[in-house]
Structures are given as C-alpha cells and as structure tokens.
Amino acid sequence: MSLPEAALFDFDGTLVHITIDFQAMRQSAVDVIARYGEGADGGSRFTLELVESVRDRLAAGDPERAARFQEEALAGIRDVELAAAVDATPLPGVMETLRWLRDRGVKVGIVTRNCRAAVLSVAERHQMPFDTLLSRDDVRHVKPHPEHLLQGLRHFGARPALSVMVGDHPTDIQAAQGAGMVSVGITTTRTAQGFDTVPDFMVDRMDELVSLLGNGRWQVHREGRSQT
C-alpha cells in the first residue's frame, strides 16, 4: 500500500461543521474601511482580499496607518470566527480518518484561511489528531495561493507530487493544482458541480478518503490527470 507523504486539509466545511456569519464578517470589515475614509465598492467578494486591497491602497500613502487599519479589520473578522468556533464540531468520519493516516505515518496538516485561535479552540476541544496547523496568521499568502500549501509541505519535508490536499472549496483545489499536489474535493458544502476548478478526485464523505488513499488510486499521473 503506497500512501501519500503528507495529507493537507482545509478546516471549515472539510474537517468541521461550522456556521460562520459571513455577512456580519463582511459588514465588520466594511465599517472599518469606512472609518478610514475608504470605499468597499467593487472590492473582492472575499472579505480577506477586500481588507488586503484597502490595506495596499492605504500603504501607498501611509504604511503605519495601513497597518493600523489591517489590525482593526482583522480583529473584527477574528471575533466572528471565534464566535462560530464555539459550536463547531468534527464532521462524520473525520477523527477516524485523521487517526488512520497518522497511524500509518502520513503527516497531517490543517491549512486554513481561518484564524489560528479559532481553529485551535475547536481542535483542542475535540482532541483532533494532526501534526501542524497553518492558519492565515502563520503565512504571508493564503489559499488559493499555492505558497500556503507549499509551506506546509516544506515543514514536513514532503514532495508535492506525493502529497494530497483535501478541501470543500474551489480555492482549495486551485491552491493544490498551483502547488503540484493531488487534489481531492469533498462535497460537504457544495455539489460536485459547484467546483468550478475540477479536482483530481471527488469524495462525498471523509471516510471515503481511506479507500481512495489505501488502494493507491490517488497516485494520478502528473500529465493527463485521471478523475473519479
């Protein structure tokens, strides 16, 4: 049985059920943007990217003011994430799958755009087994930038082509493809048709990952990738 050197997982919607109030998160950021005399019209649909774009605009004229803005905006986002983390629970099959991987020597990493404090509050409460966590607080570039995943692989000394990334969002798949990893989409929060970036493999439940990895089907050819 040939297993991956490392398995990286998204957190929200992939490993845990968590209900984040994205509308409140967005409004919190917009309020901070307004206090700094900036507008959010035409900004990214992702709140983190919106904050980054405003920070960059402010930095062109006053880097210190830009840093204060970012700190305030991210504090509001973090408050929403921490509130959601209180009721977050592991999805079915997650604990068993993570243990199965680690028992067989596969390095397990959590790679998330969520804040570190929120993820740790859930992971520690439920004693989730993993080897490393790379939240947005730990990296310069977050998913879909491949560097988010590559930093995790470097930590493990794992090769991208012999590692897998599992996630419920197209940004997870985009990051995996950019990093040269095998990508696995999981349909916990969207249908297979909802992945506008097509993964190498698709599973409906986390326990299906054991079969996919255990029988070696995950080892797709790097050219002309196969899909199931």
Helix (H) or strand (E) holding 20: none
Residues in the chain: 228
Q: Is residue 71 located within the same domain as residue 181? A: no
pLDDT at 190 (0 to 100): 93
> Is residue 183 within 8 Å of 173, Cβ to Cβ?
yes
Q: Within a domain: residue 228?
A: no
Q: Is residue 37 located within the same domain as residue 143? A: no
Q: Is residue 153 located within the same domain as residue 186? A: yes
Q: Is residue 117 located within the same domain as residue 164? A: yes
pTM of the predicted model as reported, rounded to 2 decimal places: 0.90
Number of domains in the chain: 2
Q: Answer with the one of 85, 114, 137 that is the final residue of a domain.
A: 85
Return the structure tokens found at 155: 């930590």
Q: Answer with the one of 85, 119, 135 that is the final residue of a domain.
A: 85
* Measured CA distances, 164 to 49, 107, 138, 200 (Å): 25, 11, 20, 10
Q: Is residue 199 located within the same domain as residue 129? A: yes
pLDDT at 227 (0 to 100): 42
Hey, is 144 helix, strand or coil?
Answer: coil
Per-residue pLDDT of the chain (228 residues; tens, 9 = 90+): 589 999 999 999 999 999 999 999 999 999 999 999 887 766 667 899 999 999 999 999 999 999 999 999 999 999 999 999 999 999 999 999 999 999 999 999 999 999 999 999 999 999 999 999 999 999 989 999 999 999 999 999 999 999 999 999 999 999 999 999 999 999 999 999 989 999 999 999 999 999 999 988 888 644 444 444
Q: Within a domain: residue 219?
A: no
Q: Is residue 205 located within the same domain as residue 113? A: yes
Cis before 144 (ω within 30): yes
Q: Within a domain: residue 125?
A: yes
Q: Is residue 13 located within the same domain as residue 28? A: no
Domain enclosing residue 60, as ranges? 22-85
> Taking the CB of residue 215, how many other CB atoms lie within 10 A of it?
11
Side by side, the strands of the sheet bearing 6-9 are 132-134, 107-111, 6-9, 163-167, 182-186, 201-203
Q: Within a domain: residue 179?
A: yes
pLDDT at 222 (0 to 100): 44
pLDDT at 220 (0 to 100): 64
Residue 36 to residue 40: CA distance in whole angstroms: 11
Beta-carbon contacts of 19 under 8 Å, excluding residues fewer than 6 positions away, are 84, 87
> Taking the CB of residue 17, how many other CB atoms lie within 10 A of it?
15
Q: Within a domain: residue 64?
A: yes
| H-assigned helices in the chain | 22-35, 47-59, 63-85, 94-103, 116-125, 147-156, 170-179, 208-214
Q: Is residue 76 located within the same domain as residue 147? A: no
Q: Answer with the one of 34, 57, 85 that is the final residue of a domain.
A: 85
Q: Is residue 188 located within the same domain as residue 78? A: no
Helix (H) or strand (E) holding 201: strand 201-203
Question: Any bridge partners for residue 132, and if so which?
Answer: 109
